[in-house]
Structure formats: structure tokens, C-alpha cells
Amino acid sequence: MGPGVHLFIACLRGATRYQKEPSVSFPVQPSNTTSRAPVEPSSPDFAPLAPAPHASDTPTPRWSIWTLVSAICGIFTAVGAGASIFSVTAAGVLCIAAGPALVCGLVGLLNISESNGRLKGREFAVVGFVMVVVGLIVFSHMASSQFSEYLKQHPFHLLPSDD
């Protein structure tokens, strides 16, 4: 075997360019000499290499903080929509979380799609979006019904009366 084959085998074993190529001599009889004693193979000049990493050594994906915040804000929005039965003011305060839920969910989904599997939590972003949409629909329905009741009790006149 030539030196190129030894280099190829060293590369397959994971040797870097800074490691010495293993020097192994084989019992070969030169053709121009008479009988010689066979030469024993020598040990390699480099230390044994570390085993290749296994599939279990891959890092587990982390949770995306953005999607967790989106889900939490979405839940606050849904709670605010439920509170609109009792107080429109309290519901309005809790429904302020709808904006951050949508923004954090969008940022989280973008981060997850660009992470190549290093981030997880797409479901939390979807939960945040759904809770915001449902919460805002319920809140707007409740607020409009309460506003129409208010207008029935206290009508306002846009045009001045002739009286």
C-alpha cells in the first residue's frame, strides 16, 4: 500500500491534518535482495481516536420563549373576553394582551422556522393566535351589545332639535 492509501485510511478513521500519518511497515521482500528476515508491523504513531458521536448525543430542541409568551398573552385575552360579561373596563384591560400575543406568536413562528429543528413550540404560537381571535370576537360582541343597551337608555342627538 502506498502513502495515499494510508492517508485515505487515516481520514476515514477521523485523523486531522495535524495528526501524523500512521507509519506501518509490512513484511515485504525486496526483489533485488536475497532472503531477509520479515519485518514485524510497528504500532501507529498516533493515539486512538474518540468514537464517533451517536444519535443520542444530539441536543434536544429548546422551547421558543416567544411562543410561550404568545400563549400566555392569548390566555389573558380569552380571560378578558370572559370578564366582559361583568365589566367592559376590566375586559378591555385584559384584552390589551392581544397585541403582544400576535406579535410574539409571529416572531416565535419565524424563529422556529429558521432554527432548523433547534427550537420547538409552534403549537403554543397557534394556541396564542386562536385564543386572541376567539377572545377578540367574544369581546367585540359583548362590548357592542352593552354599547347598544347604553344607547337605548341614553340616546344622543347628532342634529340640534328645533325646540
pLDDT in tens, 20-42: 445 555 555 555 655 556 655 55
- Structure-model confidence comparison of residues 41 and 96, the more confident one: 96
- For the whole model, what pTM was predicted? 0.54
pLDDT level of residue 123 (50, 70, 90 thresholds): very high
* Segments making up each domain of the chain, as ranges: 63-153
* Mean pLDDT in residue range 139-160: 79
**Number of residues written out for the chain:** 163
Residue 119's DSSP bridge partners are 62
Mean pLDDT, rounded, of the chain:
74
- State whether residue 62 is helix, strand or coil: strand
Q: How far apart are alpha carbons 7 and 21 in whole angstroms?
A: 6
Q: Residue 137 class from Cβ within 10 Å (0-12 exposed, 13-18 middle, 19+ buried)? A: exposed
Q: Residue 68 class from Cβ within 10 Å (0-12 exposed, 13-18 middle, 19+ buried)? A: middle
* Mean pLDDT in residue range 87-108: 86
Cell numbers representing residue 143 in the block? 362590548
